[in-house]
Copies of this chain bind each other. A is one copy, B any other.
Amino acid sequence: MSISLDSQQLVALTGATKVEGEYLGKVRSLASLAEAGPEDLSFLGNPKYATEVPTCKAGVILVPLDYVGQPATGQAFLRVAKPSYALALVCAAIEAQLWPKPAAGIHASAVVAPTAVVDASAHVGPLCVIGDGARIGAGAVLEAHCLIGVQAVIGAGCWLKNGVTIADYCRLGARCRLQSGVVIGSDGFGYEPAGGQIHRIPQIGNVVLADDVDVGANTTIDRARFSQTVIGRGTKIDNLVQIAHNVRIGQQCLITAQVGIAGSTTLGDFCVLGGQAGVAGHLNLGHRVQLGAQTGVFVDIPEGGFYNGTPAIPIGLERRLVVLSRKLPDLFKKVDSLVASLDAGGRSNP
C-alpha cells in the first residue's frame, strides 16, 4: 500500500481553511497521534488526545479550528472544522486510489452461460461462473471466483469481492457490497423428524437484498422455505453472521459479527445487534431495538427496547442483576448469620 499526497493535495481534499507550518514531503500513510512518523498524516479527532499533539511526529496533522498550539519545524497543521470528517474525506480519496474500479468486460477465463445478461459496463473477473438467465447490472464489479446462480440478479453498482456466492434465483439491489466468502441463498435448515428418520423440507424460496446492503466475509443468508428472506435497504451485516430462512430484516440495521438470527424472525428498522448475539425463531423485534453482545433473545421485543443477557431482559434490569449477583457471597453470609443469630436469641450481632 503506497499512497503519495502532498500538503496542497491534502488541503484540497479536506477543505482546510488555514495551513500552519510547512511540510515539504509526501504523506505516505495515516496513523494515530501516538504512532505517527514523519511521512504520516494524523488527526486530533477527540479533544482528550490534545496533549499528544505537541509530541506527534506526523508530517501533517488535522486539527480543529480552536486547537491551541503550533506545529513543530517541518510539520504542517491543517485547520478544519471537524478533523475526523476531514480524515474520512482523505480516506475516501485514498481508497479510490488503492481500489480503482476495474475496467468493464468479462475475463476470458470466466464461464458465463449464453443466456446470462451482463451489462456492458460491468466487470466480471477471472474464473467467475454465471448461470443461465442471470443478470449483472450496470457498473457492477465481480472480482475473481464469484459464483452467480441461475436467474440470479446483481443490481447496478454492486461490488462483490473475490469468492462471493449468490445462489440460484437470489436478487441483490443496487450498490450492495459483499465481502469474500459470502454465501447468499444456501438452503434453509428445514427438517422434520418423523418415524426415526429426518425428512428434508424443500427450500424453494430465495433471498432478496434491497439497495445499499453490505455483507461481511463468510456470512451466510439462507433462502426461504418459500417466498423470500429479505434484508432491508441500507442494512449492514458484518462477518460470519447467520441469517436463517424467511428472516426479514428492516432498513438501516447494523448486525455485528457472528450474530445468528433463526428462522422466520422479523426485525424492524434501525436495529443494532452486538457481536455473537442470537435471536430465536419466529420472533418480532420492533424498530430501533438494540441487543448487547452475546445476548440471547427468546421473546418478542417492542420498538426501542435495549436488551442484554441470556435470556435477554431490558438492559437496566440486566445491569442491576449483574451487580447484585456479584454480591451473592455477602448475601449468603448475611442470611447464614441471620439464621445463626435468630437461633441464638433473636438478635443480630454484627
Contacts and interface: CB of A to CB of B under 8 A. Distances in A.
B216 A151 contact: no
Contact of A257 (B91, B125, B260, B321): B260
Contacts of A262: 256-257, 275, 293
A293 B275 contact: no
A129 B214 CA distance: 24
A202 B94 contact: yes
Contacts of A126: 111, 129
Chain A's interface: helix, strand, loop or mixed, by majority?
Answer: loop
13 contacts: A32-B227, A95-B203, A147-B180, A177-B200, A181-B183, A181-B186, A193-B252, A242-B258, A244-B257, A321-B329, A324-B328, A335-B335, A339-B350
Interface in A118-148: 125-127, 129, 144-145, 147
B239 A189 contact: yes
Contacts of A346: 342, 346-347
A254 B191 CA distance: 9
Interface string A30-70: 11100100000000000000000000000000000000000
A158 to B, nearest CB: 14
B329 A324 contact: yes
A350 B309 CA distance: 32
Interface in A302-322: 309-311, 313, 317, 320-322
B320 A294 contact: no
A124 to B, nearest CB: 13
A194 to B, nearest CB: 10
Interface stretch (A5-13, A14-22, A218-226): A218-226
A350 B99 CA distance: 71
A201 B278 contact: no
Contact of A326 (B35, B147, B321, B343): B321
A256 B30 contact: no
B342 A201 contact: no
B238 A240 contact: no
A149 interface: yes
A77 B19 CA distance: 77
B335 A226 contact: no
Nearest to A113: B126
A290 interface: no
Contacts of A202: 88, 91-92, 94-95
Nearest to A170: B1
Contact of A180 (B144, B165, B204, B257): B165
Nearest to A100: B150
A58 to B, nearest CB: 12
Nearest to A214: B200
Question: Top 6 nearest A-B pairs by Cβ distance?
Answer: A186-B217, A342-B348, A30-B226, A95-B202, A91-B202, A217-B220
Interface in A204-255: 204-206, 214, 216-218, 220, 222, 225-227, 234, 236, 238-240, 242, 244, 252, 254
B239 A242 contact: yes
A204 B147 contact: no
Contacts of A343: 348, 350
